[in-house]
Chain A
């Protein structure tokens, strides 16, 4: 057994239902942040004919009592990051999948947890129980994903090498995560299970569906050679402040942010290093979230310059309510301790002084005694023709 897949089905909806448990038994959908489309639908909504990807208007026609929840992508991403961080404390190599899934490489972990059951429990514990996580363990990523779909909430489904192919035969083609149009074509062709797809010649599937069809055929037969790609580790420094009562004025938020920045810069990991990115996250008392990532063209190590950027971002921010929590993250930490400036930089007092000096010299001697080396014929085989000295002229 090599790969585990931790799955939270209907992830955006699962995140919302944690805070709105009253909607668990009702038909409900979460709409996509980029338009009036269904992102995730509850089982009750699906029984009424509502499916993910459907237009909201059509969904409401099919289910007039549908509860519509507006998406909060920043909230979902925060939950994803928390789950991935928790998974990395169990297994060092973790790959984030499509939202709601994560893969972990289990090689070498057998001796760390005493038993496979203990390891599975540790993996399941990475996600909050209220989200209804499921775990699949199999020799490959796709097989682990299918096993996770088959598992019950808070349970594990384990497939060994020999069991993968027979298990996949009865699984629906929707698990292949193909585009909606491709799935529609497969259904029109009467191919509804992975077994029916695998029974066709590979060349025929590839001819109909292209390269993605060929890969789907391989997966349907349990042949998944895609390696697990662990997410890169980025060194980060995070400072978090909670406020009780929540902050109502922008000035108070700015004071808090400045304090968070000062504390973050004092952390040993940042000392003597420059910062390339700052992420600000704000949570309001009613569950609203705001997030902004600021990336600098060149890494900054001066506190004053960092604060200027953070202050400007917060001053212009449209915060969704009274602030109950502020988080400031410094990332992209470099090994630079300063900046190498140019001798003749285009800006600054030094440039002005130099120009003035050259003007005076030119006036005094009738020509500029300061020269500049220029390439004339760098390719020449006659050395004295390659370079020449020219009057320095700003």
Chain B
């Protein structure tokens, strides 16, 4: 028997883009001031050619449930091969995360 082809009524799904990917501690090398100087992507080490921008976000302090308050230090990096990536250090949990842009 064929499943009911009619779709359920409902709002469109909103899927976020550019979701962060967690980096292991060993995949980020930091230099003076805490800025990354190299990152390991897919097993390959890439030196950071320049830090284009850095900013800090402190938000949603009122959250106590999953997600919690937001406190991140962002770095927009240009790697040695010309790629631009965004990494941030989660100042609440202490981990590093990477995003494509």
Contact = CB atoms under 8 A, between A and B. Distances in A.
A384 B18 contact: yes
Interface stretch (B7-15, B30-38, B39-47): B7-15
Interface size class of A (residues with CB under 8 A): 20 to 34
A159 B70 CA distance: 83
B16 A384 contact: yes
A363 interface: yes
A365 to B, nearest CB: 8
A363 B19 CA distance: 28
Contact of A388 (B5, B15, B72, B74): B15
Q: How large is the interface on B (under 10, 10 to 19, 20 to 34, 35 or more residues)?
A: 20 to 34
Interface in A344-394: 362-364, 366-367, 371, 373, 376, 381-391, 393
Nearest to A381: B57
Contacts of A389: 14-17
B17 A363 contact: no
A384 B99 contact: yes
Contacts of B55: 381
A361 to B, nearest CB: 10
Contacts of B20: 384
Given A363-B5, A363-B7, A382-B70, A390 B12 contact: yes
Contact of A366 (B7, B72, B101): B7
A388 B14 contact: yes
Q: Classify the secondary structure of A's interface with B.
A: mixed
A386 B18 contact: yes
Contacts of B70: 382
B89 to A, nearest CB: 14
Interface in B48-99: 55, 57, 59, 70, 72, 74, 86, 99
A382 B59 contact: yes
B6 interface: yes
A373 B14 CA distance: 10
A390 B13 contact: yes
Contacts of B101: 383
B16 A367 contact: no
A28 to B, nearest CB: 77
Interface of A: 362-364, 366-367, 371, 373, 376, 381-391, 393
Interface of B: 5-8, 12-20, 55, 57, 59, 70, 72, 74, 86, 99, 101
Top 9 A-B pairs ranked by shortest CB distance? A389-B15, A363-B5, A387-B17, A391-B12, A384-B18, A388-B14, A366-B7, A384-B16, A383-B99
8 contacts: A363-B7, A366-B8, A383-B86, A384-B20, A387-B18, A389-B14, A389-B17, A391-B13
Given A367-B7, A385-B16, 12 more contacts: A363-B5, A376-B14, A381-B55, A381-B57, A382-B57, A383-B74, A383-B99, A384-B19, A387-B18, A390-B12, A390-B13, A391-B12
